[in-house]
Amino acid sequence: MKKQLTICLMTAMVMTTTSLLTSCDQRQHENPLLEESTLPFGTPDFSKIKVSDYLPAFEAAIQQQRDNIQKIVDCQESATFENTILPFEDSGRLLDRVSRIFFAIVEADKTPEIGDIEKKVQPMITDLENEISFNKPLFERIRQVYDSEHDALQGEDQKLLEEIYKEFVRKGALLPDDKMERMKEINRRISDLQQQWGDVLPDATNNAVVWVDTKEELSGLSDADIAQCAKDAESRGGKAPYAIVIVNTTQQALLASLDNRDLRRRIFEASVHRADGSGEYNTFPIACEIARLRAEQAELMGYENYASYSLEKAMAKTPDNVYAFLKDLISQYTPKAETETRAIEDFARKTQGADFQLQPYDRFYYSAKMKKELLNISDDEVKPYFNIDSVLINGVFYAANRAYGLTFKQLDNIPTYHPDMKAFEVLDKDGSPLALFYCDYFRRPTKRGGAWMDGFQKQSHRWQQQPIIFNVCNSAKAPDGQPSLLTWDEVTTMFHEFGHALHGILSNCQYNHLSGTSVARDFVEMPSQFNESFASIPEIFDHYARHCETGEAMPADLKERMLQSITFQTAYALGENLAATCLDLAWHMLPSKDVPTPDQAAAFETEALRRVGLLNPQIPPRYSTSYFNHVFGGGYAAGYYSYLWTEVLAVNIADVFAQRGALDPATGQDFRDKILSRGNTGDLMQFFTDFTGMTSPDASGLLRSRGL
C-alpha cells in the first residue's frame, strides 16, 4: 500500500486561514499550497501548483508547526485535553496538506526535479519529527493530561489521548538523554537511507528492461501485448524495437505466454538481479544498514529485536504469535506446493522430453498451457472482457453502489497531476457529497512499481473536511485507439485498492489522527482483501466482464471456466507470499550485532528461507531483499505477514456477507457502521467481533478460499 509518513500522524493547525495569511509574506501568499483551494472538497489545484512551490511551502508549513508546538509548551495553565491535546492534534494541519500532495507526486510522477526537492525536504521533516518526539516540555504536558484525564475521557477523546501519548513513548520520549540523542541520529539516518532506496530501486527496475530485437522472439504474445512492448521500447529510448518492462514482483506476467525459453530466462534473471549487486545498482548496503539501525532502535527501547518492538502495537502482538500462524500455514501448504510442481513438470515433459528440468521461468508458461488443456482457457481469451474502464465503472463502482449505496460522478473540470488521472465525486445513498476519488492506473517511468491507496486529505469532523482519496496502479496503457485490457490479477488489484479507498471514503471520525486507514498494519489490509471478493460475485462479474468491442457479456461457458481457473494451481501465490513474509521477519528478528554485511545478504536470505522450509527455487519470494520495497522503502517492516493475517479476517467477513446475502444493503451498512467508518477509534478486534460475532479469527477458511 502507501508510503507512510510519521508526520501524517501529528497533524493539523490551530491558525485559521486568516491568521496564516497574516503570518506569511507576499511571496507565500501566491503559493497555492499555502492557500485553501477553491475547488470541490478543497482538492489540490494542480493547474496552479508549480514544482517551485513545494520547497517554500514545506518551509512555511514546518515553521508554522514549530510555532504552534511552542505555543503549547509556553502555555502557563495546567495541561488539559483542551489546551494541550487538541492544539497538538491541530498543530500541523498545513504540513499535513503539503506533505500529502507532494509525496503523492513523489510516488506517482517522480521527475528529476521532484526527486531533488525530496532530497531537501526529507531531512527537514525528519528534524521536525525529532524536535517534536523529543520535546521534553511538550511530552510532560501530554503525560500530565494522560495521568489526570485518561480515565475520565470517553470515546474518540480518550482514544486520541491514548494514541498520542503512546506514540511519544514508543518513539523514545522516556529515554535518558544519551539514548535520546542516539535515537535522533538513527531517525535521521533511516530517513536518508529510505530516500536513497527510493532513488535507487526505481532506477534499477527501469534499467532492468529486457530489449528484444525481433517480433519473432515475442512469439506467444498477443498482438496487443506486442504493441505494448513496442510502445514501451519507444518510451524508454528505443534501444531495440521491443522492450519488456520489469514490474515490481519477482515473477513477470508475460512469462505465461512467451514461447522463447531463453527470453523467459533473461526476463526472470533481470527481475531477480535488478538490484542485488550484480550490476550497477545495489540496494543491499541500504537494506542491511536499515535493518541494523532498526534493531538498534528496538534495543534502545528495551526490546530484543525490531519485530518485537513493532508488533507490540499490532493485532498479532508478538513474533511468536505470527510464527505460530505462519508455521500452521506452511505445514498445510508444503505438500500441496510439491504436488503442484510435480504436476507442472510432468506436463512439460510430455512435449519437452523426460529429462526436462522445470525452471522458475518455465513455471508460469507450462502452468498456463496446462490450464488451457485442462480447463480450455487462457489469459488472452478472457482479457478482451476486462476493459479497464468497464472494470472500474461497471465493476468496482457498481459493487460499491450495490453494497453501500454509493454513486460516482466523473468530474472533467478537476485539474490532476497527470493526464491519465481521473476524478470522481462520490455521492452517498441520499445523494449528498461524501468524498472525492481519483484513479491513476497506468504505468510510466516516473511512477514506482506496485499499487496503492492514499489521500490528498483525510476525513475529519473537527477540521470540517471530507476525504479526498486516490488509487494508483501500474497497468499497461494500450496504444491510442485501442482498449486497455487487464489480466484477472489486475482486475482483483483494482478491487483490492478500492477496498482501501472505501476505508478512507466512508470514514466518520472526529479526528484526523484516528480517521480512515490509521489502523494497525495487520488490520488495514482487511477491507481491501475483502473487497476483492466482490470481483467474482456473479451479479458484479456479469456487469463488468463485457467484450471490449461488442459489449457482450462473457459467455456462460467461458465464465464458468474462467472462474474455475481462479483457483487453478494457487499454491504458488501462497508460497511466494509466505516466503516474502518469512524473509521480512528474518531481517527484523536479528539483534543489531548479527545483521549481515551487504556481501552476506544474499546468503542470509537463502539460509532464512531454508530454516523455515521455504527455500524452493520453483517458488521464490514475491519480493527478494534487494527489491522488497514494502519493508525497506515503505511501512511494512516486520509487518508483511499482515497480508495473510488480514486475508483470514477478510475470508471470515466474506462468509458473513455470503450468509446474509452478498449484496444485501443492510449487511453493507452494518459493515460500514461497524468497521469501515470507525478508523482507529476503538479496539480493532472488537470491531471484527461486532460485525462477525466471532471472538477471534478462524484461519481454517484461508486455504479453502484459495482452492487448496
pLDDT tens string 268-280: 999 999 999 777 8
Q: 86-141: per-residue pLDDT in tens?
A: 999 999 999 999 999 999 999 999 999 999 999 999 999 999 999 999 999 999 99
User: Considering the chain, what is the average pLDDT of its residues?
Assistant: 93
Confidence of residue 4 (pLDDT cuts 50, 70, 90): very low
Whether pLDDT at 5 is above 90: no
Mean pLDDT of 470-479: 94
pLDDT at 318: 96
Give which of 105, 88, 96 is closest to 457, Cα–Cα.
Answer: 96
Task: Write down all domains in the chain, each with its CATH number in brackets.
Answer: 6-133+135-171 (1.10.1370.40), 208-272 (no CATH), 284-376+569-640 (1.10.1370.10), 383-557 (1.10.1370.40)
Question: What per-residue confidence (pLDDT) applies to 653?
Answer: 97
Beta bridge partners of 469: 437, 455
Contact at 8 Å (CB) between 88 and 9? no
**Checking phi first, is residue 278 left (phi over 0); if not, alpha (psi -120 to 50) or beta?**
alpha
Copy the grid coordinates of residue 192: 536518508
End-to-end CA distance of the chain: 26
- By CB neighbour count within 10 A (0-12 exposed, 13-18 middle, 19+ buried), where does 419 fall? exposed
Q: Is the pLDDT of residue 25 over 50?
A: no
Alpha-carbon span 268 to 251, nearest angstrom: 7
Gap between the Cα atoms of 437 and 422, Å rounded: 8
**One-letter amino acid for residue 583 of the chain:** L
pLDDT band, very low/low/confident/very high, at 705 (cuts 50, 70, 90): confident
Span 581-589, average pLDDT: 98
CA–CA distance, 50 with 491 (Å, rounded to integer): 34
Mean pLDDT of 628-634: 95
Predicted confidence at residue 162, as pLDDT, reads: 97
Statement: residue 479 has pLDDT above 90: no
Partners of 454 in the beta sheet?
Answer: 470
Kindly state the cell numbers that stand for 405: 449505496
Distance CA 581, CA 543 (A): 35
Q: What integer pLDDT is reported at residue 6 of this predicted model? A: 34
Q: What are phi and psi of 475, to 5 degrees?
A: -80, 155
Query: For the residues of 433-487, what is the DSSP string, one character each?
Result: EEEEEEEEEE--TTS-SS-EEEEEE--BTTTTB--EEEEEEEEPPPPTTS--B--
The CA distance from 154 to 152, in Å, is 7
Q: Which backbone phi and psi does 211 adopt, to 5 degrees? A: -90, 140
Q: Is 129 helix (H, G, I), strand (E, B) or coil?
A: helix
Confidence of residue 27 (pLDDT cuts 50, 70, 90): very low
pLDDT of residue 16: 38
For residue 9, pLDDT beyond 50: no
Q: Is it the case that residue 527 has pLDDT exceeding 50? A: yes
Q: pLDDT above 90 covers what percent of the chain? A: 88
156 in active site: no
For the stretch 289-303, what's the b/e string if a residue is b when 16 or more beta carbons lie within 10 angstroms of its beta carbon? bbbbbbbbbbbbbeb
Q: Can you give the pLDDT at residue 279?
A: 72
The catalytic position among 118, 217, 296, 497 is 497
pLDDT in tens, 367-397: 999 999 998 888 889 999 999 999 999 999 9
Angle between helices 319-352 and 360-375 (to 10 degrees): 70
pTM above 0.85, yes or no: yes
CA distances from 339 to 334, 356, 571, 708 (A): 9, 17, 9, 11
Predicted pLDDT at 21: 37
The DSSP 8-state label assigned to residue 241 in this structure reads S
Whether 634 shows a pLDDT value over 90: the answer reads no
Q: Is 195 exposed, middle or buried (0-12, 13-18, 19+ CB in 10 A)?
A: buried
* Percent of the chain that is helix, strand, coil (3-state, to 5): 60, 5, 35
- Return phi, psi of residue 576, to 5°: -65, -30
Phi/psi class of residue 465: alpha, beta or left (left: φ > 0; alpha: ψ in -120 to 50)?
beta
In Å, how far from its chain's centre is CA 228? 26
Average pLDDT estimate for 658-673:
95
